[in-house]
Amino acid sequence: MATSTTEAPTRHSITATRPLLGWRTVDILTIAFLGAAFGVAFWGWGIFYNGPITALKIGYAPLMGLFTGPWLLAGVVGGLVVRRPGAALFCEVVAALVSMLPGTEWGATVLVSGIAQGLGAEIAFALLGYRFFGVGAAALAGVLSTPLEWLFETVKFPASWSGPPVLGILADGGGWYAEWGIGDKLAYLATMAVSGVVLAGILGWLLTRALARAGALSAFPPGQELRESHAV
């Protein structure tokens, strides 16, 4: 087969085989295994992670948002590797499930966080029509992984809701950081977003490329992109 080398490189990424929803067995298993491996890695990182985070909580707590990126990697990498609708969400949820079973400091909420984060990354890939998977797309997926999670952690239902019959039960309830001032909450969103772009998006893109170079993605579009860039 003659591989065309005269064409200028297109801006489109190589997409998954059609139909996009036709998940192959290797797609499903790869996402499940990647998610489980990230779940295991989450524990491992926890050892290294607890130090700086605890220090920041004693100082200015919203800065800990800078360290949230790694927990968003599963969704970004899952989406970048398999490139099918649902891959990012599936991967992040499996990672959350695996890290939840042996026990984490956040209990069953990691499952909710997994959905919130994975959904964000999924929205990013969907906005791009599952056609673009470059570093920009990865950064978008990383940054969009954060707002829902931020909302979940900082939501505060107003006390004024105590009047209406249904909303009443929500009044004054909220997430972990419900009692922070709005300025601190927004600072937290900003640090999360930065971390999402750098530690989830760009790092996830680099990780995917490194996996392709290690020959681990030959069945997937990133492996194919690597081969085409090397084709002589």
Partner 1 sequence: MVGTRGRVEVSGLTWRPFGRREPVLRGVDLTLEPGERVLLVGPSGSGKSTLLRALTGLLGSVEAGELGGAVTLDGAAPGSRPGAVGLVLQEPGAGVVAATVGRDVAFGLENTGVERSAMPGRVAAALRAVELGDLPLDTPTSALSGGQTQRLALAGTLALDPALILLDEPTAMLDPGCAAEVREAVAALTADKGPDAARTLVVVEHVLGPWLELVDRLVVLSSDGEVVADGPVHDVLAERREELLAMGLWVPGAPAPEPLAVDATLLDPAHLDPTRSTMAAAPFSVERTTRRLDGTTRTERAAALDDALDARPGTLTALVGPSGAGKSTLLSALAGFLTSTPADAVRVGADPGSADPASLDARTLAGAVAWVPQWASSTMVARTVLDEVLVTARALGRDDTAEVPRARALLGALGLSHLERADPRELSGGEQRRLAVAAALHHGPPVLLADEPTVGQDRHTWAAVVGLVAAYRRAGGAVVAATHDAAVVARAEVVHQVTAPTRPAALPPARSPLVARCGPLALLTGALLGIPAGVLSPHWSTSLAVLTVQVVLAVVGLSAPGAGAPPAGRLRTVALRTAPGLLAALSVGWSTWWLAGHDVDAALTVSLRVLVIVVPSAVLVPWVDPDRLGDHLAQRLGLPDRPVVAVAAALQRVHTFGAVWSEIGRARRVRGLGVSARHPATVLAHVSALTMGLLVRTLRAAAELAVAMDARGFATAQRRSWWAPAPWRARDTLLVALAALPLVAAVTVR
- SS3 for the chain is CCCCCCCCCCCCCCCCCCCCCCCCHHHHHHHHHHHHHHHHHHHHHHHHHHHHHHHHHHCCHHHHHHHCHHHHHHHHHHHHHHCCCCHHHHHHHHHHHHHHCCCCCCCCHHHHHHHHHHHHHHHHHHHCCCCCCCHHHHHHHHHHCHHHHHHHHHCECCHHHHCCCCHHHHCCCECCCCCCCHHHHHHHHHHHHHHHHHHHHHHHHHHHHHHHHCCCCCCCHHHHHHHHHHCC
CB of 37 to partner 1, least distance (A): 4
CB of 202 to partner 1, least distance (A): 14
CB of 213 to partner 1, least distance (A): 7
If the CB atoms of residues 53 and 128 are measured against partner 1, the closer one turns out to be 53
CB of 13 to partner 1, least distance (A): 16
Query: What's the CA gap between 110 and 103, in Å, rounded?
Result: 10
If the CB atoms of residues 135 and 171 are measured against partner 1, the closer one turns out to be 171
If the CB atoms of residues 12 and 127 are measured against partner 1, the closer one turns out to be 12
CB of 123 to partner 1, least distance (A): 20
If the CB atoms of residues 62 and 120 are measured against partner 1, the closer one turns out to be 62
Query: What's the CA gap between 182 and 231, in Å, rounded?
Result: 53
If the CB atoms of residues 28 and 194 are measured against partner 1, the closer one turns out to be 28
CB of 108 to partner 1, least distance (A): 4
If the CB atoms of residues 34 and 76 are measured against partner 1, the closer one turns out to be 34
Nearest to 122 by CA among 152, 146, 144: 144
